[in-house]
Amino acid sequence: MSAFIDARSVPSGTVLQPDLAIIGGGPAGISLAMALASTPIRTVLLESGGMVFEPKTQKLYEGSQVGAPYQALDATRLRFLGGSTNHWGGWTRPMDRLDFEERAWMPYSGWPFGRAALERYYPRAQALCEAGPWLYDRAEKWPHEKEQTLALGDGGVTTRWFQFSKMRGSVLPTHFGERYGDDLKHIKRLSVYLHANATRLGLDASGAKINQIDMATLSGHKFTVKPKVTVLAMGAIEIARLMLASNDVAPDGVGNAHDLVGRFFADHPIPRDTATLVLFNGQLAPFYLNTQGMHGAIMRAGLFPSEDYRRKNAVMDSSTTIENNIDLDELGKAAVAATAAALGVDASSAQAYSLGCGMEVTPDPNRRFTLDSERDALGMRLKLHMRIADSDFAHFRETLKELGRQLLASRTGMLRLNLKERGEWLDGLDWGNHHMGTTRMHSDPRQGVVDANLQVHGISNLFVAGSSVYPTYSAANPTMNLVALTLRLADHLKGVLR
């Protein structure tokens, strides 16, 4: 068992020469290191933080922003071993087959491979996330007879399931650093450096290979890593920063010959109180409102547009959750009474609920990061240019309308849409903290930063792990999917480094 190395004790001027350098010890970096554990590949994992939150290190995540309201860049992620899983919510769901397809109505859509390419990695990704047995939509047969899914009748919206990560022996979701720290220490050919910040990717004179990574600690130590292969696993924002700021050989930054690095940033907007759901008989199974244990998994139901409905009606993905029981105002009560009378149903026990949601956004090249003029202790800061299109809200509104239609058709209930104007959607808008898209994947170098093997186009020994490579975003929570993608990358790297 080898202890982690504190980079602040590494003498300045040291040169490390591993086979593989993984920069970033979040779920992507940790999963990659673990997947290569039994290979002869000599690996260093370079992590900026330590084992716990440290304000000075966290400060390196600060940046500026303009445009649509978004979280402060140092508040939307965590910079220590385990990355943002140190405070993630643990929601997991695999992407749908449709999420990988090219769709005429969605510009820039289409992954270079289908979901089949990830299928064999999902079970291990699910296990690493400790999200229990793979149930998801197979969970329709809920074991408690009295607790049924909503009778929605035929239509585009159906009940589907989230699963939740739960760290063994704890109520918290898996914190990858804490949970897998000892496993990393047992990997023979792996050295983990903490407090080690990558500050520059050094290209050779041809610009086609990374020949060194400059490293720095906040205590002023500087050393160099010269790996055969480098994997960037610092999360979508920081990967863009390091690539853009490494601009000494390629003036626009590493891998940025086609001005794509930092573009297409995405997250899942979470508008609150999007609609009011009324159920005429007042009966709602508890698994809609809260997580429940089932067959060894922790699950919660949501209302999702089916793949068929999305395809036929050209709408984007979303996941609607039923949030809490609310009181209706007098107007609402009158509307319920009138609708129930028209449908001939008894609404004397009706209950109302507020709906929330996680929405997919359209890929947008101008929702992007650029280098800022400001610097922090270790380098150039980033500026976020945040945008969200009205059409994104309109897509979700269509899905809500479909849900409302189904509720009426099945005489189960009714829906009141609460948000219409842009200002209403933006008011109190929350975000998933699901950073995606800054190094999108495409087989054509003019349309993507990385290829289908996650190799940066034109740079033979540089790869990217994480959701920055997603060309489109689904509404599925990204982490279990990005771990699956990383396990696929591990298999590819075994061939590269053979």
**Applying CB under 6 A, does 44 fall inside the site for ligand FAD?**
no
Q: Could you tell me the smallest distance in angstroms from the CB atom of residue 437 to ligand FAD?
A: 12
Mapping DSSP onto H, E and C, the string for 170-200 reads CCCCCCHHHHHHHHHHCCCCEEEEECCEEEE
Q: Could you tell me the smallest distance in angstroms from the CB atom of residue 61 to ligand FAD?
A: 8
**Applying CB under 6 A, does 109 fall inside the site for ligand FAD?**
no
Which residue in the set 4, 70, 88, 122 belongs to the binding site for ligand FAD (CB under 6 A)? 88
Mapping DSSP onto H, E and C, the string for 478-493 reads HHHHHHHHHHHHHHHH
Which residue in the set 18, 50, 83, 448 belongs to the binding site for ligand FAD (CB under 6 A)? 83
Task: Provide the token pair at 141.
Answer: 């047969």
Mark 48-77 with x for binding to ligand FAD (rule: CB under 6 A) and - for no binding: xx--------------------------xx
**Applying CB under 6 A, does 240 fall inside the site for ligand FAD?**
no
Instruction: For residue 177, give the nearest of 51, 5, 28 by alpha carbon.
Output: 51
Which residue in the set 19, 47, 392, 402 belongs to the binding site for ligand FAD (CB under 6 A)? 47
Mark 143-182 with x for binding to ligand FAD (rule: CB under 6 A) and - for no binding: ----------------------------------------
**Applying CB under 6 A, does 477 fall inside the site for ligand FAD?**
yes
- Say whether 450 sits in a helix, a strand or coil: strand
Q: At what angle do helices 478-496 and 27-35 cross, to 10 degrees?
A: 40
Provide the sign of the torsion angle of the four alpha carbons 356, 360, 362, 368, taken in this order: positive
Binding segment for ligand FAD (CB under 6 A), chosen from 233-241, 280-288, 422-430, 448-456, is: 233-241
Kind of pairing, strands 157-164 and 229-232? Answer: unpaired
Of the pair 16, 81, the CB lying nearest ligand FAD is at 81
Under a CB-based contact definition with an 8 Å cutoff, are residues 311 and 147 in contact? Answer: no
Q: Could you tell me the smallest distance in angstroms from the CB atom of residue 367 to ligand FAD?
A: 18
The DSSP bridge partners found for residue 456 are: 450
Of the pair 278, 480, the CB lying nearest ligand FAD is at 480
Which residue has 């920055």 as its token pair?
A: 468
Which residue in the set 18, 94, 271, 478 belongs to the binding site for ligand FAD (CB under 6 A)? 478
Q: Could you tell me the smallest distance in angstroms from the CB atom of residue 76 to ligand FAD?
A: 6
Of the pair 235, 363, the CB lying nearest ligand FAD is at 235
Of the pair 77, 221, the CB lying nearest ligand FAD is at 77
Of the pair 173, 448, the CB lying nearest ligand FAD is at 173
Of the pair 71, 453, the CB lying nearest ligand FAD is at 71
Strands (E) in 86-156, as ranges, are 91-92
**Applying CB under 6 A, does 126 fall inside the site for ligand FAD?**
no
Report the C-alpha gap between 346 and 217 in whole angstroms.
68
Which residue in the set 42, 79, 368, 457 belongs to the binding site for ligand FAD (CB under 6 A)? 79
**Applying CB under 6 A, does 455 fall inside the site for ligand FAD?**
no
Of the pair 52, 338, the CB lying nearest ligand FAD is at 52
Binding segment for ligand FAD (CB under 6 A), chosen from 47-55, 103-111, 140-148, 286-294, is: 47-55
Under a CB-based contact definition with an 8 Å cutoff, are residues 345 and 280 in contact? Answer: yes
**Applying CB under 6 A, does 253 fall inside the site for ligand FAD?**
no
Which residue in the set 4, 70, 91, 280 belongs to the binding site for ligand FAD (CB under 6 A)? 91
Report the C-alpha gap between 110 and 76 in whole angstroms.
28
Under a CB-based contact definition with an 8 Å cutoff, are residues 292 and 298 in contact? Answer: yes
Mark 408-447 with x for binding to ligand FAD (rule: CB under 6 A) and - for no binding: -------------------------xx-------------
**Applying CB under 6 A, does 24 fall inside the site for ligand FAD?**
yes
Of the pair 203, 340, the CB lying nearest ligand FAD is at 203
Kind of pairing, strands 20-23 and 229-232? Answer: parallel
Report the C-alpha gap between 437 and 449 in whole angstroms.
10
Residue 390, judged by CB atoms within 10 A of its CB (0-12, 13-18, 19+), counts as: exposed
**Applying CB under 6 A, does 469 fall inside the site for ligand FAD?**
no
Q: Could you tell me the smallest distance in angstroms from the CB atom of residue 148 to ligand FAD?
A: 26
Amino acid letter, residue 93? R
Residue 242, judged by CB atoms within 10 A of its CB (0-12, 13-18, 19+), counts as: buried
Binding segment for ligand FAD (CB under 6 A), chosen from 82-90, 292-300, 364-372, 391-399, is: 82-90
Which residue in the set 98, 474, 479, 488 belongs to the binding site for ligand FAD (CB under 6 A)? 479
How many other CB atoms sit within 10 Å of the CB of residue 424? 15
Provide the sign of the torsion angle of the four alpha carbons 164, 170, 172, 176, taken in this order: negative
Under a CB-based contact definition with an 8 Å cutoff, are residues 79 and 46 in contact? Answer: no
**Virtual torsion, Cα 266, 268, 274, 275, nearest 10 deg:** 130
Total binding residues for ligand FAD by CB under 6 A?
40
Q: What is the largest CA-CA distance in the chain?
A: 81
Report the C-alpha gap between 65 and 58 in whole angstroms.
17
Q: Could you tell me the smallest distance in angstroms from the CB atom of residue 87 to ligand FAD?
A: 5
DSSP H or E stretch at residue 423:
helix 422-426
**Applying CB under 6 A, does 84 fall inside the site for ligand FAD?**
yes
Q: Residue numbers of the site for ligand FAD (CB under 6 A)?
A: 23-29, 46-49, 76-77, 79-81, 83-85, 87-92, 197-198, 233-235, 238, 242, 433-434, 466-467, 477-479, 482
